[in-house]
Amino acid sequence: MTARPENGPHGVLVGGGGASGLLAAIAARWGGASVVLLEKNPRVGKKLLTTGNHQCNLSNLHLSADRFHGDPALAMAVIGKFDLDATLAFFGRLGLQSARDGQGRVYPRSYQAASVLDALRLEAEESGVETVAGTDVAEIERQGKGLAVTAKGGTRFIARRVILCTGGKAAPHTGSVGGGLDLARRLGHAVVEPFPALVPLKLEGAHPRAMQGMRWEVVARLLVDGREGGTARGEALFAAYGLSGPAALALSRNAVEAWSAGRRVEVALDLLPEQPETETLHCIRSRCLNKPDRSMEHFLAGWINKRIGQVLLKALGFDWSRPWGSLTGEEQARLARALHAWTFPVAGHTGWPNAQVTAGGVETAEVDPETLESRLVPGLHFAGEILNVDGDSGGYNLQWAWSSGWVAGSAAARAPEPSLP
């Protein structure tokens, strides 16, 4: 039998060259370990280039537990070890300056994701991280007091410590197909069943299709079995399948989780969030008295987007040719309610190819929060999206990637040889 080629031994091996993997590799190298980084794609950072609409929303000024899901307590404990100030200092050391917007989002001053990737890639290279691209992790097993990582193709890499940063299942075109989750399962780890987060929502009915391509600033409310399950303010983008845009994405995690559990899920859109419903009703009554002979087709013109207004009137059953002065008091009140709570049943989501983030992942109770080392496999650490932590849109997921990568990489570099049971 022909022996498989071996590479190593190394101090630390990082599986996955995304945001958390690059941070982990640099942190481990700065900590004095020899580091090899395995990346399945031809180049590192493919998914990082797509973040924040290619502007790379690095973090957010308003980091708090309510912005994270899965295990918010772990998220905040880890972020506490590498917080926003530490993150900005780290990137400053790499020569990257930052900018902030009015909503607390932090970006590179260039507003280019490519500049963030370049800074990380160059630092990894200059600090001595050995990057092996086109190499996918297929198996991890104990090798003496260390670990052996077998890549697809048969090459074995021997390392004292391994950090698994292979991501989840969101955006599979970037290489995130859940392979690391399968590895974790085979090593005995429990995995919280992953589902798409920050993903467009499918809505029932033909009305969204009639508004395809239209955008409108709304306050969106999620209703689960009739009870409020979250609110979000932002742009709604109507599509043939349903709803996208920041407002829908912000509610999507809870919506998908509830819908997958078989619960009744709806999204209610407030099309006039700047004014109370009582004022809207007053405006409707005034409009009915002014030029009462005009047809309903034009009733909402100049008030909201024309096509959105026409579709709403049709959804309420109003005949477009009817004069608007004929609206009864009950019909006026129904229109006012609809303008502030136009409700659509959720019929699903658009799937992993359109998801930005994975919810679910490796059970966090099975990792040490101080080091992110596995409690089951000595010498194995996790970082990033592979763990059961996900954040809201707005830089929270990248902050988790930076913080967990730093904690895992620094811990792996300074840790002694794993103590085997």
The domains of the chain are located at 6-195+359-414, 200-350
- For residue 418, the model assigns a pLDDT of 63
The matching CATH number, chosen from 2.40.128.120, 3.50.30.30, 3.30.390.30, 3.50.50.60, for 6-195+359-414 is: 3.50.50.60
Residue whose pair of structure tokens reads 């400053």 in the numeric block? 92
Among residues of the chain, what percentage have pLDDT more than 70? 97
**pLDDT tens digits for range 23-50:** 999 999 999 999 999 999 999 999 999 9
| Res. 172: pLDDT tops 90 | yes
- For residue 83, the model assigns a pLDDT of 98
CB atoms within 10 A of CB 77: 15
The helix, strand and coil proportions of the chain, stated in percent and rounded to the nearest 5, come to: 35, 30, 35
CB atoms within 10 A of CB 291: 11
d(CA 315, CA 360): 37
- For residue 1, the model assigns a pLDDT of 31
| Res. 72: pLDDT tops 90 | yes
- Helix or strand or coil: residue 234? strand
- For residue 291, the model assigns a pLDDT of 87
**pLDDT tens digits for range 319-373:** 989 999 999 999 999 999 999 999 999 999 999 999 999 999 999 999 999 999 9
- The H or E element spanning position 398 is helix 396-414
d(CA 246, CA 20): 24
CA angle 29, 30, 32 (to 5 degrees): 65
What pLDDT band is residue 419 in, cutting at 50, 70 and 90? Answer: low
> Pairing mode, if any, of strands 242-244 and 201-203?
antiparallel
* Residue 59 and residue 82 in contact, taking contact as beta carbons nearer than 8 Å: no
d(CA 217, CA 222): 16
| Res. 16: pLDDT tops 50 | yes
Residue 229, phi then psi, degrees to nearest 5: -120, 15
* Residue 357 and residue 67 in contact, taking contact as beta carbons nearer than 8 Å: no
Taking the whole predicted model, whether its pTM rises above 0.85 is answered as: yes
d(CA 241, CA 277): 29
